Amino acid sequence: MARESTHLMQLPAGFLRQHLIDPEMCARCNSCEEACTRQAITHDHRCYAVDVERCDERMDCIRGCSTGAIDNWRVVSTTSLYTVEEQQGWHELPPPLPLPTGAEAPAVRDALVQAGRRPHAPASSATPAVGLFTHDHPGVAIIVANAPLTAPDDGAEVRHVVIRFDERPCPVLEGQSVGVIAPGFDAQGRPHHVRLYSVASARDGETPGAGDVAFTVKRVLHDHQGRPVRGTCSNYLCDLPIGSRLRVTGPVGETFLMPDEPGASLLMICTGTGIAPMRGMIQRRLRLPRQADGPLVLFYGGRTPRELPYRDELDRLPIDFVDAHYAYSRVPGRPRHYVQDLLRQQSELIARFVLRDRCYVYLCGLQGMERGVHDAFIDILRAAVADWDQLLPQLTSEGRYHVEVY
């Protein structure tokens, strides 16, 4: 075996700690593969997998994972390692193997949290329920609403889909995701993998007390060359009429959660359907006593005003409730404008927010936004005589900085 186990977990000879990705929780956003400097992470049409021969446990892949799928480990014999091919055939992680004598050691996630490298939930957030339903033992939900949010334009549309759990309650917090299982099989004859959707409603439901959960679902109808495209799960979900039953998994997500402490302020930055968890958090705050709230600020980007899901709904909120800023990148006759441009325009506001103790930052949307937002924070904090690269680990370790990109 070429790789030795690292100092994070000392094991007897003949054993090592193997890094694995949970296929049920994985959002297939590719953030882990892009972050891995050793090219140890790969994927096919089914699953993401970690090549144990390449993995050096630097943990570059950890921070970008919004669901926690990347943060899984097994103590295995060096003669029975899980191959990439095995991992890509999984629907769920295998159960942990019994530890060999003397292998007990602190969990890796504790070491990462202490190092300030792994995102975790705000200390005051509610405890999330996770994994109540699985691929092998799914829950059943009913479609109670399915309506367009945007008109089919440029080969895509966004719909607002609301489900209600049929058999037993499924508590879901803002920032968590629920999986949907499309019926049928893929080209290889395997059941379709779970597709995760961020919840777009508050913990007490889309309708307060009703136990329903909203999704913001984008489906692509054709590519840039005009050729028809039919993504499996999103098209399945968007086409379901009211009253239809579907199989679901989850909830998943233990870190992208909102604080429950009085006076906490939220800085929310998103693009497109990344508005979903922000809508849930805004909805939650709207139902709480206003005097206990800290300020909410939203930076929201899209191609054009008509392509922004929930824009009309946001405009109807009380004028002093959310300080909303919008960026559009494809308005004819106007220069392209992105959320990072908005941040720079509001640099004094941003610096004041991120430097106060009770501010929590949330990013959600297309993966390309993260780099631009990060660079904007560097410039903004430098002008405020602060160092973003030093502040970011502190915010992360305090559960105050959260990223969910896809």
Are 248 and 270 in the same domain?
no
Are 217 and 311 in the same domain?
no
Residue that has been written with the tokens 């960026």 in this structure? 327
Judged by DSSP in three states, 93 sits in coil
Residue 348 lies in a domain: yes
Residue 130 lies in a domain: no
Least confident of 6-10, 176-180, 195-199: 6-10
DSSP state at residue 270:
E
Are 302 and 242 in the same domain?
no
CATH, residue 200:
2.40.30.10
Are 242 and 276 in the same domain?
no
Residue 301 lies in a domain: yes
Are 269 and 246 in the same domain?
no
Residue 274 is predicted with a pLDDT of 95
Least confident of 181-185, 229-233, 262-266, 292-296: 229-233
Are 80 and 146 in the same domain?
no
Least confident of 95-104, 202-211, 215-224, 376-385: 95-104
CA pair distance 215, 162, nearest whole angstrom? 6
Are 228 and 271 in the same domain?
no
CA pair distance 133, 244, nearest whole angstrom? 19
The average pLDDT across 274-281 equals: 97
Residue 128 is predicted with a pLDDT of 93
Domain of 207 in residue numbering reads as 139-252
Least confident of 13-17, 147-151, 307-311: 13-17
* Residue length of the chain: 406
Q: Which of 185, 217, 252 is the last residue of a domain?
A: 252
Residue 51 lies in a domain: yes
Residue 259 lies in a domain: no
Largest Cα separation within the chain, whole Å, is 69
Percent of the chain with pLDDT over 90: 47
DSSP state at residue 191:
B
| Region class of 350: left (phi > 0), else alpha (psi between -120 and 50), else beta | alpha
Are 81 and 169 in the same domain?
no
Residue 342 is predicted with a pLDDT of 95
CA pair distance 370, 271, nearest whole angstrom? 11
CATH, residue 90:
3.30.70.20
Q: Which of 252, 276, 305 is the last residue of a domain?
A: 252
Residue 5 lies in a domain: no
Is residue 7's pLDDT more than 50?
no
CB 369 within 8 A of CB 396: no
Residue 112 binned pLDDT confidence (cut-offs 50, 70, 90): very low
Q: Which of 252, 278, 297 is the last residue of a domain?
A: 252
Are 279 and 352 in the same domain?
yes
Are 205 and 294 in the same domain?
no
Question: Which is higher by pLDDT, 186 or 244?
Answer: 244
CA pair distance 61, 73, nearest whole angstrom? 14
Tell me the HSE value of 168 on the side-chain side, using a 13 A CA sphere. Answer: 6
Residue 101 lies in a domain: no
Residue 247 is predicted with a pLDDT of 94
Cα distances (angstroms) measured from residue 121 to each of 126, 260, 327, 403:
9, 11, 28, 12
Domains in the chain: how many in total? 3
CATH, residue 378:
3.40.50.80
Are 273 and 401 in the same domain?
yes
Is residue 117's pLDDT more than 60?
no
Residue 283 lies in a domain: yes
> In sequence order, what are the residues at sequence separation of 6 or more whose Cβ sits closer than 8 angstroms to the Cβ of residue 56?
3, 6, 38, 40
Are 111 and 144 in the same domain?
no
The average pLDDT across 283-310 equals: 88
The average pLDDT across 295-321 equals: 92
| Residue in 274, 304, 305, 255 with CA at minimum distance from that of residue 370 | 274
